[in-house]
Amino acid sequence: MHKIVIAGASTLLGKELKDALSESPLAAANFTLLDDDQGQGQLEQVGDEVTFVQAVEPDSFDGADFTFFCGSGLGSEELTRRHWQNAIRAGSTVLDLSGALAGEPGVRVRAPWLEKGLGASSGPADLLTQAVVPAHPAALALGLLLGRVGQAAPVRTCAATLLAPASEFGRAAMDELHQQTVNLLSFQSLPRAIYDAQTAYNLLCGLGESAQASLVRLEDRIRSDYAALGGGRWPALALQTIAAPVFHGHTFSIAVELDRAVELSALEEALSGDHVDLVLEDTDSPSNLAATGQNDVLVRLRPVVEGRNPTQVTRFWLWAASDNLRLAAQNAVECALDLQRLRPQGLVQ
């Protein structure tokens, strides 16, 4: 039976990961839940096992097959940096959802959904693979959509705007958005510790000078993960991130121009498939609420009609939505299952 450690178990992503593991073939594992300060002593359930959230100790990783470092929340990268080497020394394989280990020697960005369907990978797992970074869920969603579009016709240009929710920056950001909303309605001053700006009822392309959240760092990670997964095979991506006054869910507005015209039906066929739900009716628009709890990326294709043949498409818009926490957790579990399948063959230890 496997032993699994979740470091950062009380974060938003840690809680989502526990649910995803409970629904996976790893549900029967023995679980150890860790956190630095918040959540210690809380009683949690993973699968059929009930356990307490414990403090991180030097021997916390002993005997662990997999250690997940959960990256939802400000300061979560520091938790990974402080403890991941201890997990490696204990013989555990590390799955870093915080992205702190991207760029470390031998650490690969992974998204098994894309590797199976689109040939994407920053490199296969092998005997030396001690840690992987499950790709950021926005990079995963963009890779799914743009990789499939590229199978229908070469992409000339692609530009995406991501509307990022408060949960992207953790529970403290969600609490601040909620409190700002309440204070605005009662004409009180606004808390600004996380955003250093008014986010309630507002859309922002930049945050205040003292903001703890950073749209620039978020964009950099998404671009980096997208490039690592695509390996030069996917179209270059122009990306802008907007802070949206919502609690959960990524939404994307994506403009695409192809090198040549293709039939609209061919585009729809290319986009459809596992993990993508193509919405054909305007009355059922993808949204962050509709995507909540879904494992799929919801997408609506809207062609830019040019010329006399409306079924021939060169330029079009994609409006997409996904559950950012759900996709991140599902991808991390898929990475662990992929590594587990390699273990009996002696390729990963």
In whole angstroms, give the CA distance from residue 80 to residue 99. 9
Q: Where are the alpha helices (DSSP H) in 23-159?
A: 76-89, 112-118, 137-152
Q: Are residues 96 and 244 in the same domain?
A: no
What is the maximal distance between C-alpha atoms in the chain? Answer: 69
Residue 212 contacts residue 128 (beta carbons within 8 Å): no
Q: Are residues 100 and 228 in the same domain?
A: no
Split at pLDDT 50, 70, 90, the class of 349 is very low
Angle between helices 324-342 and 137-152 (to 10 degrees): 80
Residue 317 contacts residue 161 (beta carbons within 8 Å): no
Average pLDDT, the chain: 88
Q: Are residues 122 and 159 in the same domain?
A: no
| Amino acid letter, 178 | H
Instruction: Check pLDDT > 70 for residue 182.
Output: yes
In whole angstroms, give the CA distance from residue 297 to residue 323. 8
The pTM score is 0.91
| Segment 34-79, tens digit of pLDDT | 887 666 656 566 766 667 788 888 888 999 999 999 965 565 688 8
Number of domains in the chain: 2
Summarize the confidence of residues 2-23 as an average pLDDT: 91
pLDDT at site 346: 42
Q: Which domain holds residue 48?
A: 3-135+328-345
Q: Are residues 291 and 171 in the same domain?
A: yes
| Segment 141-154, tens digit of pLDDT | 999 999 999 999 99
Q: Are residues 152 and 39 in the same domain?
A: no
Residues 112, 114, 119: CA angle, nearest 5 degrees: 105
Q: Are residues 316 and 228 in the same domain?
A: yes
Q: Are residues 316 and 181 in the same domain?
A: yes
Q: Are residues 31 and 70 in the same domain?
A: yes
For residue 158, the domain's CATH number is 3.30.360.10
| Segment 306-317, tens digit of pLDDT | 766 777 899 999
Instruction: Check pLDDT > 60 for residue 122.
Output: no
Q: Are residues 265 and 281 in the same domain?
A: yes
Contacts within 8 Å (CB) and 24+ apart, 276-280: 276/144, 276/145, 276/148
| Segment 101-113, tens digit of pLDDT | 988 888 999 999 9
In whole angstroms, give the CA distance from residue 343 to residue 53. 28
Summarize the confidence of residues 246-267 as an average pLDDT: 95
Q: Which two tokens stand for residue 69?
A: 């470092």
Q: How many other CB atoms are found less than 10 A from the CB of residue 240?
A: 12
For residue 40, the domain's CATH number is 3.40.50.720
Q: Are residues 177 and 291 in the same domain?
A: yes
